[in-house]
């Protein structure tokens, strides 16, 4: 049984215009997203800015209330419907699903010392109610992420951004989760620190037996981290497959365009690889194009396909490789 099952998740944001006659529009940030995530696995979610990756992460955790959809979390031999969870179930959800935010600067309360930032969930979720026991756990967590005892009493502003992200990770680990949603955990730290944080995450995944939902716009990073990769475009998943399959045999035109933009570290290949240049920009998510959302920029649109009219469904083209495109 999969650890997390998400089906047909939708989150629309209301945009109101006008004073007297209100014009209601919806930004369809997440529009019918389904995926499953197994234990100890990493699912990478890639897509460009504004395609709904972060909203998806927050909605799965129910930090944003979705408009429709089903989220099922299978932990401790129980199957919890996250969106209908009562208070007791929600506490279990919070214990088992945690999140690391993109910006470690703003995601740590500037008024609290590290000790309390990490220790607070232990107290609230009644994992360790004795202060001394809690301090011991916090210290272990800090050592796990490469920080030490001397950092316990310090405040977030006294750390570098890499260290802050480590604190964010330690905090997520504190409750002993089965799944961590990593929302661009490395995008706000510089490249040399990125590698450290990524390696730390990999190491922690092995020792703690956790699954990751790894959200990023960086294909290289996602490939390095993920078992499976889902590509998002305008609020929808357009292709899902094992990481290697996505890189070896990308099917969706958008995925192929993304991959062709990936820089090759080996100068031998320079200039030999054909780059696909997409025309235009991402359409307005308030008025997504009818039919296939990608058809306005698609370079492989065929006249005999209903791209402009019909929305393509997800089809399993090869084993465990799903694509939403009329060409397949």
Partner 1 sequence: MREYIVKKLAIAVIVLIGVYTITFVLTFMMPGDPARVSMGQFGNPETVKLIRQRWGLDRPRYVQYIKYAGSFLKGEMGMSFRYDRPVLDVIKYRFPRSAYLGLWGILFSIVLSIPLGIVAACKQNTPLDNAAVLFSQIGRSLPSFWLGMMLIAMVAVGLGWVKVVPEVEPGRLWSFSGFFTSLDDYILPVITLGTGLMATTTRMTRSSMLEVIREDYITLARAKGLPERVVILKHALRNALIPVVTLIGMQFLLIVGGVIITETVFGINGIGRLYVTSIQMRDYPVVIALTLIYAFGVVLINLLVDLTYGWIDPRVRLR
Comparing CB distances to partner 1, the nearer of 173 and 322 is 173
Q: Is residue 107 a contact point for partner 1 (CB under 8 A)?
A: yes
Among the listed residues 4, 51, 82, 101, the single contact to partner 1 using CB under 8 A? 101
Comparing CB distances to partner 1, the nearer of 155 and 328 is 155
Shortest Cβ distance from residue 268 to partner 1 (Å)? 43
Shortest Cβ distance from residue 148 to partner 1 (Å)? 20
**Residue keyed to tokens 């469904």:** 313
Q: Are 114 and 155 in contact (CB under 8 A)?
A: yes
Q: What is the largest CA-CA distance in the chain?
A: 70
Among the listed residues 72, 85, 89, 155, the single contact to partner 1 using CB under 8 A? 155
Choices 44-52, 90-98, 159-167, 298-306; region in contact with partner 1 by CB under 8 A: 90-98
Among the listed residues 41, 42, 55, 98, the single contact to partner 1 using CB under 8 A? 98
Q: Going by C-beta distance under 8 Å and a sequence separation of 6 or more, which residues neighbour residue 138?
A: 114, 115, 118, 119, 122, 152, 170, 174
Comparing CB distances to partner 1, the nearer of 187 and 327 is 187
Q: Residues binding partner 1: what is the number (CB under 8 A)?
A: 28
Shortest Cβ distance from residue 195 to partner 1 (Å)? 24
Among the listed residues 7, 68, 81, 109, the single contact to partner 1 using CB under 8 A? 109
First to last CA, the chain: 29
Comparing CB distances to partner 1, the nearer of 8 and 158 is 158
Choices 22-30, 88-96, 141-149, 281-289; region in contact with partner 1 by CB under 8 A: 88-96
Site string for partner 1, 124-153 (x = CB under 8 A): xx----------------------------
Determine the length of the chain: 328
Choices 3-11, 56-64, 244-252, 260-268; region in contact with partner 1 by CB under 8 A: 56-64
Among the listed residues 5, 120, 144, 311, the single contact to partner 1 using CB under 8 A? 120
Comparing CB distances to partner 1, the nearer of 25 and 260 is 25
Q: Is residue 63 a contact point for partner 1 (CB under 8 A)?
A: yes
Q: Is residue 103 a contact point for partner 1 (CB under 8 A)?
A: yes
**Contacts of partner 1 in 191-250 (CB under 8 A):** none
- Judged by the rule CB under 8 A, the positions of this chain that interact with partner 1 are 58, 61, 63, 90-91, 94-95, 98-99, 101-103, 106-113, 120-121, 124-125, 155, 157, 171, 175
């Amino acid at each position: 049984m999969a650890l997390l099952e998400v089906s047909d998740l939708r989150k629309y944001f209301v945009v109101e215009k006008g004073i007297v006659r209100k014009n209601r529009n919806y930004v369809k940030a997440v529009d019918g997203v389904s995926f499953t995530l197994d234990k100890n696995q990493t699912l990478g979610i890639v897509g460009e800015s504004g395609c709904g990756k972060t909203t998806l992460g927050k909605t799965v955790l129910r930090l944003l209330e979705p408009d429709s959809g089903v989220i099922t979390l299978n932990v401790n031999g129980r199957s919890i419907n996250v969106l209908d969870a009562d208070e007791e179930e929600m506490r279990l959800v919070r214990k088992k699903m945690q999140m690391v935010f993109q910006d470690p600067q703003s995601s740590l309360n500037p008024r609290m010392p590290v000790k309390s930032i990490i220790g607070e969930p232990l107290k609230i979720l009644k994992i360790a109610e004795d202060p001394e026991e809690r301090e011991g756990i916090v210290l272990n967590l800090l050592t796990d992420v490469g920080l030490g005892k001397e950092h316990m009493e310090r405040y977030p502003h006294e750390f570098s951004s890499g260290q802050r992200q480590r604190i964010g990770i330690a905090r997520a680990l504190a409750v002993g989760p089965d799944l961590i949603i990593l929302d661009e955990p490395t995008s706000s730290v510089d490249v040399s620190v990125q590698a450290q944080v990524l390696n730390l995450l990999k190491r922690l995944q092995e020792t703690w037996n956790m699954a990751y939902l790894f959200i990023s716009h960086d294909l290289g990073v996602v490939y390095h981290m993920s078992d499976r990769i889902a590509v998002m475009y305008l609020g929808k998943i357009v292709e899902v497959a094992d990481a290697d399959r996505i890189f070896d045999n990308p099917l969706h035109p958008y995925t192929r365009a993304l991959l062709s933009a990936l820089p090759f570290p080996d100068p031998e290949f320079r200039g030999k690889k054909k780059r696909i240049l997409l025309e235009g920009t991402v359409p307005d998510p308030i008025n997504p194009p009818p039919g296939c959302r990608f058809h306005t920029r698609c370079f492989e649109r065929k006249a005999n396909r209903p791209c402009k009219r019909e929305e393509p469904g997800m089809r399993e083209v090869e084993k465990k490789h799903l694509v939403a495109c009329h060409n397949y």
